[in-house]
Structure 1
Amino acid sequence: MYLIASLGNPSPEYDGTRHNLGRVAVERWLSQHDTQPINVQGFSGRAFHVAPTKLQATSYKLQAIIVTPDLGTYMNESGPAIAVVISFYRIPAENLILVHDDTDLPLGTIRISKDSSAAGHHGVESIINTLGTKSFVRLRLGIESRENKAIPSTENFVLQKFSKAEIPIMEKMLDRAVLTLNIIITDGSSQIITGHHYA
């Protein structure tokens, strides 16, 4: 069983911000599959079940996919929410696929990572600290577009919305993110090429 989760902030004021890009990507992936809402005891976010047969993946041998596009918590508190779902369904940590924004990558770039440090991303850091491992797959979506990384500060930059010029680049990246998620699921997380760029 896989858990696909995204990082983001729950309040409407954060909709469309760079920091919520992972959530948008997972929502788009969900929109292309038949899903069933599910209730997870102790989990305040939204969760869905996706039957593997809907993916038409001959190599896919897992029983189900649980998807949580909205953890119901703020970015920096993501770890405990993820832990609830993993514990409820007894999902191995290595079967977590985390989708999130990344200021270490240029806008439009996608990178798959595993066993990597949080690199300053507090949402990822919360999950690593809570689970006690970094041995899970991360689909990192590049959002960096500043000429000077100090202006504005990263804290302010990630909470800004994409500019009009950035939106087409962001949209193409989201489409590739959906395709990449399918590759990860059908090929298995142990078979993916970590560190590979999808520019």
Structure 2
Amino acid sequence: MPDEHPMSGSLFMVVAPSGAGKSTLVNALLAQDSEIKLSISYTTRPPRSKEKDGREYHFATVEDFRARHKQGEFLEWAEVHGNYYGTSRLAIAEQMQAGTDVLLEIDWQGAQQVKKQFPHAVGIFILPPSIAALEDRLKKRGQDEPQVITRRILAAGGEIAHASEFEYVIINQEFDSALSALTAIVKATRCRFSQQAVRNASLFAQLGIHANLS
């Protein structure tokens, strides 16, 4: 659904190579900010320990995912490390129209697709302090086999090369500082004239402020 009409909710895209700490930062942001919601993506990736269907992801078979894609249900989709990931177009539009800020945890390919349909979406790229730190984090989280870690490290360079395509870049060297930066970006976005004009339309009218948001 193209970004043709003003929506009172903002759309954030957080992208990072595997192991950069993206999910930890996003979870911390969601825990402290009730006005932003995480979009639950569809994926064909097998659930990790403690993950539940409908919470972290909607887990789907390859056949189901392809059927949904064929029906045009996805705002964006991508194949990452041999698994499919996709974002529901309808769910995003409904939440934003209702005034909810929505956050997408996606890869750079998905972010490019979203930008074409929602040009005002805010792109945030999370960088590790070094490739060595990235590898160390992947090993310590204990979720992947050694060959999978090697594949993720090899892919990281290509993913990081797309950081220049994003409005904001956060280097996740110290967690609290990185979280503060992420929080600041969200708060600043809410203060954009276009967002304030939609959220506070009656006040703007009373004050004689005219906003052309078409």
TM over 0.5: no
Q: Which of the pair has the greater relative contact order for Cα pairs under 8 Å at 6+ separation?
A: 2
TM tier, smaller: 0.3 to 0.5
The structure richer in helix per residue is 2
Normalising to structure 1: TM-score of the pair?
A: 0.41
Normalising to structure 2: TM-score of the pair?
A: 0.38
